[in-house]
């Protein structure tokens, strides 16, 4: 499914989560949102939600049995999270680089300007999550945005966003194709 209707130059999608430790602090949440915009990601969808423990267990199932699993499930269900579908030419790697290393102590020394280097507290409370492959991005996007169709997006929305012009709608919190016809057109990926 992940290769359906994609041209070689197509934008790539990734899931980005802002964890409860960051959502609980509006200034940190806004700073991360601004980093997403300033790094030229297109925000395809965005939503805030409270995650049930059952959902957390299912999402992190691959880590079941590891020492941090229960702590991670409890933490992710402890408060609101923000989920994004981000698009970029190399969205998965670009978002992972912007997040920085998973371990906060490494992030502080190896990538101090990264999101985790700047805002991470512990390895569990490390501010963000991002998909690590195209297959996991598809699976994770479906978990958080069950009404989102990748196939439809690649057919209908992706060409418009890739070819521009694009505008960011602060009211909706997403990027969309800018209308033409004499209206001012903000820069692509603002």
Q: Phi/psi of residue 70, each to 5°? A: -65, -40
Catalytic residue among 94, 129, 152, 175: 129
* Contact call for residues 97 and 130 (beta carbons, < 8 A): no
39 a known binding residue? no
Q: If phi over 0 gives left and psi between -120 and 50 gives alpha, with beta otherwise, what is residue 73?
A: alpha
The pair of three-digit structure tokens given for residue 152, joined into one six-digit string: 């439809």
Q: Catalytic annotation on 129?
A: yes
The 10 Å Cβ neighbour count of residue 48 is 12
Q: Which residues contact 170 (CB under 8 A, 6 or more apart)?
A: none
Q: 41 a known binding residue?
A: no
Q: Is 102 annotated as a binding residue?
A: yes
Cis peptide before 100 (omega within 30 of 0): no
- Annotated ligand binding at 68? The verdict is yes
Residues forming the active site: 129
Binding-site positions for ATP read 19, 68, 96, 102, 116, 126
Binding-site positions read 19, 68, 96, 102, 116, 126
């Amino acid at each position: 499914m992940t290769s359906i209707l994609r041209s070689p130059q197509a934008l790539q999608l990734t899931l980005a989560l802002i964890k409860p430790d960051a959502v609980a602090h509006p200034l940190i949440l806004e700073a991360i949102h601004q980093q997403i915009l300033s790094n030229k990601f297109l925000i395809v969808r965005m939503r805030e939600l409270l995650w049930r423990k059952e959902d957390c267990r299912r999402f992190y199932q691959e880590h079941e049995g590891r020492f941090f699993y229960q702590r991670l499930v409890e933490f992710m269900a402890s408060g609101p999270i923000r989920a994004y579908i981000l698009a970029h030419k190399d969205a998965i790697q670009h978002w992972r680089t912007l997040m920085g290393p998973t371990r906060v102590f490494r992030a502080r020394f190896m990538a101090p300007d990264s999101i985790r280097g700047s805002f991470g507290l512990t390895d569990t409370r490390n501010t963000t999550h991002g998909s690590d492959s195209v297959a996991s991005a598809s699976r994770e996007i479906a978990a958080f945005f069950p009404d989102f169709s990748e196939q439809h997006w690649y057919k209908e929305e992706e060409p418009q966003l890739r070819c521009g012009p694009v505008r960011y709608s602060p009211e909706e919190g997403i990027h969309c194709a800018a209308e033409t016809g004499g209206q001012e057109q903000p820069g692509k990926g603002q």
